[in-house]
Amino acid sequence: MSTGKVSKICCRGPTCSVIALKCPHIKVTIVDLNQARIDAWNSSDYNLPIYEPGLERVVRETRGRNLFFSTDVDGAIQEADLIFVSVNTPTKKSGVGAGYAADLNYVEKATRRIAQTATMSKIVVEKSTVPCRTAESMRTILEANSKPNTHFSILSNPEFLAEGTAVEDLLNPDRVLIGSLQTPLGKEACEALCEVYANWVPRDRILTVGLWSSELSKLAANAMLAQRISSINALSAICEATGANIDEVAHAIGKDSRIGPKFLRASVGFGGSCFQKDILNLVYLSESLHLPEVAAYWRQVVEMNEYQKRRFTRRVVDTLFKTITGKRIAILGFAFKADTGDTRESAAITLVKHFMDERALITIYDPQVEHEQIWMDLIEVAPTYSLHQIKKQVSIAPSALEACIEAEAVIIATEWKEFALLDWQSVYEHMLKPAFVFDGRLLLDQAKLTRIGFKVSTIGRGAEIPEGIMV
């Protein structure tokens, strides 16, 4: 089989819209079985179903030209030369590997559908973050169910994107990683995908490796990034206990060229769809390979993240005179980070659950997260509470200022810029006194808020220890 040049691509998810933008000669069809989501992608007012800076501009420029959105999954599969498999791979909640292993049910279903539908040879690209050697399972399914004279070449092409900057990351990637079997057909398929990316990515940034190396590289990258966050968060606890300033410590160590400054910003904890899931996946892989010490090492990264959230909660309770029962707490931000509406593994979810257990009254505001998503997340994290019980303690405000009315404390849980630009004098006037602010994202000007009258507690900053006091 000769793969030739790619002229039609089938995929799921919006990231392939950038391929449509940069490759006007390639028809890109994004498919989804959810009609409401496809209707939103095709909406005349461009009310897209997800928020990502720059995405609307890309869709406006390409939709109807060479970018199409459809529920006709089988038709798009049949037509495409190349198919990106990009589906959710959540952590298993039951069965073997529960709590650690990736649930590959959606990957398997997508693979079977491709095999059952395709009547011509295809390049199938594994885009989801998956355990090492998942492509082998996909190849087995495809070969066992393929039609006569139909061949599938499997590639791995993991995404290295950050939500909030995904479009920019796609337009100007550090690298594009493509893994293939080191066979003539595998290398030919790899070159076909390389040519797609080469329309805008310099060739020296397109890395071609073996299939299994590509799969493991994505897990390794996320694990290393999360490790840095947990490392700086561990240091933030020491800073609070000694009077050091985590900003100053991070700046100092980040100047070391061997370390660098990225991912050295202390916070209430990391979240998102990838970091925790991928580390747990790595833990499970290590245990499966009988490497318990390796598994324990990576497990500690997640344990430190959970500790940081518990420690932050404890600091709030202790500062508010050892109890928050019946006290109103304003949570500003519910997304796991700024510039996204994604709440998966958001630290805010855990904070709200802890405050609910302490019988506090919580008001939440986030500029992008849908209210229904907030209720769904709280139901999931607090299964012993009914929605009615949750709503007795939790409310959602239409603005940051309204969330703070009659509150005794404000928690910065997400680093939205609008929170830094708030009229904090007005916030202070509408709060009960003493008015407390807990900055879990190193976002606010602590000195300015202190001058207004707030009692400010910033993560990674402790009270300076007077001279003569032994530590």
Cis peptide before 173 (omega within 30 of 0): no
154 within 8 A of 135, measured Cβ to Cβ: yes
Amino acid at 317: V
Cis peptide before 434 (omega within 30 of 0): yes
> What does DSSP assign to residue 471?
-
Strand 122-126 versus strand 152-156 pairing type: parallel
Residue listed under structure tokens 């030209």? 65
- CA–CA gap between residue 78 and residue 350 (Å, rounded): 44
- CA–CA gap between residue 220 and residue 234 (Å, rounded): 21
Amino acid at 438: F
Helix (H) / strand (E) containing 144: helix 134-145
Helix (H) / strand (E) containing 194: helix 184-197
SS3 letters across 155-183: EECCCCCCCCCHHHHHHCCCCEEEEECCC
218 is catalytic: yes
Which residue among 52, 126, 159, 345 is the active-site one?
A: 159
Separate counts of helices (H) and strands (E) for the chain: 19, 14
Please calculate the CA angle 5-31-10 and round it to the nearest 5 degrees.
10
Which residue among 274, 327, 345, 415 is the active-site one?
A: 274
Strand 176-180 versus strand 361-365 pairing type: unpaired
Which residue among 92, 218, 309, 337 is the active-site one?
A: 218
* Cross-sheet strand order for the sheet of 206-210: 67-70, 27-31, 8-11, 82-85, 122-126, 152-156, 176-180, 206-210
- CB neighbour class for 255 (10 Å; exposed up to 12, middle 13-18, buried from 19): exposed
Residue 104 CA, chain-centre distance (Å), reads 18
Nearest to 114 by CA among 149, 150, 89: 150
Residue numbers annotated as active site: 159, 218, 274
